[in-house]
A and B are shown apart, each in its own frame.
Chain A
Amino acid sequence: MPLLESLSLTGLIAALALPWLTGALVVRLLTGPNSGVNICLGYGFFLGQIVIIVLLLGWDTFFGGVRFLPLAALLLVLATSAGALVVRDNWRLPSRPRWPLMIWLMVAILLGLIGARFWLLLQELALRPVYPWDAWMNWVPRAVVWFHHAELTPFVLPPEWLIAPPEAEVYALGNWRASGYPPGVPLMLLWMMLGGGTADHTLLFLPWLVAPLAFALVLWGHLRTGGLGPVVTLVLIYLFLSLPFANIHTMLAGYADFWLGLYFSLGVMAAERWRHVGGMGHGALALILATGCAFMKTPGMVFAGLILMALILVGAGVSSRWLGRGVMLGLVAIALMLLGGVMPGLSAMPADRFLLPLPGFLPELRIQPQPLLPILFDSLFASSNWHLLWPVLGLSALAALVVRGWVILDSLALLSLVTAATLLVFVFGYTHYFRQAENLVTLNRAWLYLVPLTTYVMGVCWTSALRGSDGND
């Protein structure tokens, strides 16, 4: 079969499955026997990617070089050890759900819609060589070099490359800053290359296809545990998995944006779970997922910080009232910033009037109000990026508010979402990054960071509204 030529299919499957299995078992150990299979598999996929990233970095540091078989063997040992602990901990298979025929029929229809979508996504991913610009410019090259060298050759900024001594083998990417980007995505790709035995194949990007499905498993687990019915939960999952812009980042694989959004969302969801059910395991899981954010993209450090903020709030036992106030403050800030950007006079402020230095690798921000509102409105409510996600979010929140009252604001996930949105509105509406919004290069990709968590928040709103409508509190 031409598709599979020059590729070790066994190695590729092992590269995909071993970290996933290890991650799932570790999640199960962290979160306890009450976590269902879906939760373990869903979180486990992402935890497994972090395990791979850490193992590759560690192996290269301590043993020099990267090899598939030793690392795969180590993963197998980890998985076996974790599995033994799980079995000892009264492991049992989940029982088949007992639903009426009509429920099964609707579930089948929805799964059919999802299946039809992902069949197309799989074909596009498998047929087309790596295509989007940033993928072959920023993320894939490091993996290719590391694969050929069988070690993690350093990548440095161009000025350092020029003055590097002859004995220092360093590389520089064609995008000036890209050599300083976090190594998560190149390492994930490297692992697939090592397993598949090639640096150039479309199926190396299978994790991009699996990631949204794994997130869907977590959504299912959390929302079903929260009391949302199976059909409504699956409708929500279908809405998430059908989003055009998310689909594009699945099949035109190689970008880090969707990964950052997924890690951020999962970290916040784990923190929320810690808040509701207790147990340090969920907190530890959230902390690990925060490191996943930092591994993906430079802005990921900010989103890791938001997860840490959520964990601190949980640890400090912050009251519902303060969570609600934080949400309202964020919404008001967003509204004021958006309106301020289109008010005449304000946007006439001279550029570079205020400079905001940021720590470390982050660039300084030149502060100036910009008319972000019309661009954002077009992207969210007129363009086809998100179907009807944002109007439905608004309506869902309204419905929950009407049925349950202000108590719906008592949500760590909602606070994290609003805080992240506030930061994005500030960055794109009040700094020189407005250019990246104006030319539509970065705005939607940054907004993608919020989308998985938005879906979860929508699910929480639906749960509140439906339970309130049943007279259940």
Chain B
Amino acid sequence: MSGLKFQPLVGRGFFRDAESVGIREFDRGEAVLGSDAFFDASNLSTVRLDLAGVHPDSQVALLWQTLSPSAEVHLVELHRGAAEVTWHRLDLEPDWDGQIAQVAIGVYGLHSVEPIRLRSLDFQPPTREILARFLWQDWRLFQPWRQGSANHYSGTPAETPLRPVTVMIIWLVTALVLLMIFIHWRRLAAAVWMPSALVVVLVPWLVLDGLWQARLSDQVASTRARFGGLDQAGKRGMEDDALLQAQAREVLDHLEPLRGQRLFILRESMRHEFNRLRLQYHLLPLNVYNFGHQLPEPGHARAGDYVLLLDDPGGVEFYSEDEVLVDERFRWPATLSLEQPRFLVFRLEGPGEEAF
């Protein structure tokens, strides 16, 4: 399907040229181009996507509707590297079934300087060549850092049928066996076969390292696109939680001078949750106690301490007329000190007591 058949469904600044269509601006972090279609999903289970202008840290998804009465919209994320032309398998998607009536390409997340440009979206039956392309694409896939990257590096998506390390081990062992046979047959001196063995080891290692070096290059390009040319404050402003950081800075400005101040963060989640921990980090060097979702006991907090309710933990109420902060266990005289979209900050004005 040529990109020219697609229309804008979400986004602003739609344009069309001789080869492609595109969207210049996201609408609330989304841009979607869609088109009518009519084909049997089971016959065409691979897709070739030619899409440019996608920020390395954005996500791309294929959306589709079938002729079924429910008119449900199905979605699958298309893992793409830095390449503009990518191939994807759909036969593993349980909802890729029946008569396809509409398809769309959605881009979500960060906005690149370049506009999103769709040249073509082609559905094809699987062939050996296409399956080989899938494999190479999985091996070259660029996935930006996640928080789990420091724990494990798999190298390929989980569904990859053949992983590069496995292939290289097979290559290594096969090459060594052949080398040993050759050495034994030709009765070569050890001074010859040892360096040869080293070369046999180095070749597959260099293949794997070439893939890793390419992945790192993609990563550095992505990082540079986001943080390049900025000072430290500018970099902080480009992080995913920049808004949380800005709000934390307001808290710090409000509580100056910080030394000696104490603050309790209350959130509904159990401890060890990303947002509350991240907030504690951004509030440094403020002294923060970051556990639980209930008001502190009278012996654990004192007048002058602050309580921050993050994302409405529930169960804690503030009665402005009485200026008291109450939950099911305790009540504290308090004044509202700061109000932000994601949290409220209260100052404890006196000793706490049991609620009832």
Q: Which residues of A contact B (CB under 8 A)?
A: 2-3, 5-7, 113, 116-117, 120-121, 123-124, 127-129, 131-134, 136-137, 140-141, 144-145, 147-149, 158, 161-163, 166, 169, 171-172, 174-176, 198-202, 232, 235, 239, 242, 244-245, 247-249, 252, 255, 379, 381-385, 387-388, 391-392, 395, 399, 403, 440-445, 465-466, 468-470
- In the assembly, what is the distance between CA of A384 and CA of B157, in Å? 11
- In the assembly, what is the distance between CA of A392 and CA of B200, in Å? 11
Q: Quick check: B150 and A388 within 8 Å, CB to CB?
A: no
Q: In the complex, how many angstroms separate the beta carbon of B142 from the nearest chain A beta carbon?
A: 13
**In residues 199-222 of chain B, which contact A (Cβ within 8 Å)?**
201-202, 204-205, 208-209, 211-213, 216-217, 219-220
Q: Quick check: A392 and B165 within 8 Å, CB to CB?
A: no
The B interface is mostly helix, strand or loop, or mixed, namely helix
- In the assembly, what is the distance between CA of A418 and CA of B284, in Å? 42
Other 12 A-B pairs with CB < 8 A, given A127-B235, A174-B271, A200-B236: A129-B227, A134-B150, A148-B258, A162-B289, A162-B296, A163-B300, A239-B205, A382-B166, A383-B163, A384-B154, A441-B148, A469-B189
Q: Quick check: B227 and A388 within 8 Å, CB to CB?
A: no
Q: Which of B151, B208, B239, B276 contacts A388 (CB 8 A)?
A: B208
B161 at interface by CB-CB < 8 Å: no
A-B contact pairs, 25 of them (CB 8 A): A2-B230, A5-B232, A113-B209, A116-B213, A117-B216, A124-B220, A134-B150, A141-B280, A141-B281, A144-B285, A148-B285, A162-B297, A166-B302, A172-B290, A381-B169, A385-B152, A388-B168, A392-B201, A395-B172, A395-B197, A399-B197, A440-B148, A442-B151, A444-B152, A469-B193
Chain A residues near B235 (CB-CB < 8 A): 127-129, 202
* Given A140-B281, A149-B285, A388-B205, residue A3 in contact with residue B172 (CB < 8 A): no
- In the assembly, what is the distance between CA of A163 and CA of B155, in Å? 47
Q: Which of A141, A162, A387, A442 contacts B208 (CB 8 A)?
A: A387
B13 at interface by CB-CB < 8 Å: no
Q: Quick check: B216 and A387 within 8 Å, CB to CB?
A: no
* Given A117-B213, A136-B281, A162-B300, residue A128 in contact with residue B223 (CB < 8 A): yes
Q: Quick check: A144 and B232 within 8 Å, CB to CB?
A: no
Chain B residues near A136 (CB-CB < 8 A): 278, 281
* Given A202-B232, A440-B152, residue A169 in contact with residue B224 (CB < 8 A): no
Question: Which residue on chain A has the smallest CB distance to residue B208?
Answer: A387
Chain A residues near B272 (CB-CB < 8 A): 174-176
Q: Which residues of B contact A (CB under 8 A)?
A: 145, 147-156, 163-166, 168-169, 172-173, 176, 189-191, 193-194, 197-198, 201-202, 204-205, 208-209, 211-213, 216-217, 219-220, 223-224, 227-236, 239, 258-260, 271-272, 274, 276-278, 280-281, 284-285, 287-291, 296-297, 299-300, 302
Chain B residues near A162 (CB-CB < 8 A): 289, 296-297, 299-300
Q: In the complex, how many angstroms separate the beta carbon of A348 from the nearest chain B beta carbon?
A: 28
- In the assembly, what is the distance between CA of A3 and CA of B232, in Å? 7
- In the assembly, what is the distance between CA of A134 and CA of B281, in Å? 11
Chain A residues near B291 (CB-CB < 8 A): 158, 174, 176
Q: Quick check: B166 and A381 within 8 Å, CB to CB?
A: yes
- In the assembly, what is the distance between CA of A442 and CA of B209, in Å? 24
- In the assembly, what is the distance between CA of A21 and CA of B232, in Å? 29
Q: Quick check: A469 and B227 within 8 Å, CB to CB?
A: no
Q: Which of A129, A244, A403, A440 contacts B190 (CB 8 A)?
A: A403
Question: Which residue on chain B has the smallest CB distance to residue A170?
Answer: B287
Q: Quick check: B223 and A123 within 8 Å, CB to CB?
A: yes
Chain A residues near B224 (CB-CB < 8 A): 123, 127
Q: Quick check: A383 and B152 within 8 Å, CB to CB?
A: yes
* Given A144-B284, A145-B285, residue A469 in contact with residue B198 (CB < 8 A): no
Chain B residues near A127 (CB-CB < 8 A): 220, 223-224, 227-228, 235
Q: Quick check: A387 and B209 within 8 Å, CB to CB?
A: yes
Query: 8 nearest interchain CB pairs?
Result: A384-B155, A469-B190, A148-B285, A132-B150, A162-B300, A440-B152, A2-B231, A174-B290
Chain B residues near A123 (CB-CB < 8 A): 220, 223-224
Chain A residues near B155 (CB-CB < 8 A): 244, 383-385
Q: In the complex, how many angstroms separate the beta carbon of B310 from the nearest chain A beta carbon?
A: 12
Chain B residues near A133 (CB-CB < 8 A): 147, 150, 274, 277
Chain A residues near B277 (CB-CB < 8 A): 133, 137, 174-175
Question: Which residue on chain A has the smallest CB distance to residue B209?
Answer: A242
Question: Which residue on chain B has the smallest CB distance to residue A383?
Answer: B154
* Given A123-B220, A384-B165, A395-B176, residue A158 in contact with residue B289 (CB < 8 A): yes
Q: Quick check: B204 and A441 within 8 Å, CB to CB?
A: no
Q: Quick check: A444 and B287 within 8 Å, CB to CB?
A: no
Chain B residues near A466 (CB-CB < 8 A): 194
Chain B residues near A445 (CB-CB < 8 A): 150-151
Chain A residues near B148 (CB-CB < 8 A): 440-441
Chain B residues near A3 (CB-CB < 8 A): 231
Q: In the complex, how many angstroms separate the beta carbon of A294 from the nearest chain B beta carbon?
A: 23
Question: Which residue on chain A has the smallest CB distance to residue B212?
Answer: A244
Q: In the complex, how many angstroms separate the beta carbon of B307 from the nearest chain A beta carbon?
A: 14
* Given A127-B228, A174-B277, A395-B201, residue A381 in contact with residue B213 (CB < 8 A): no
- In the assembly, what is the distance between CA of A400 and CA of B243, in Å? 58
Q: In the complex, how many angstroms separate the beta carbon of A127 from the nearest chain B beta carbon?
A: 5
Q: In the complex, how many angstroms separate the beta carbon of A195 from the nearest chain B beta carbon?
A: 16
- In the assembly, what is the distance between CA of A403 and CA of B189, in Å? 12
Chain A residues near B302 (CB-CB < 8 A): 166
Chain B residues near A174 (CB-CB < 8 A): 271-272, 276-277, 280-281, 288, 290-291
Question: Which residue on chain A has the smallest CB distance to residue B301?
Answer: A162
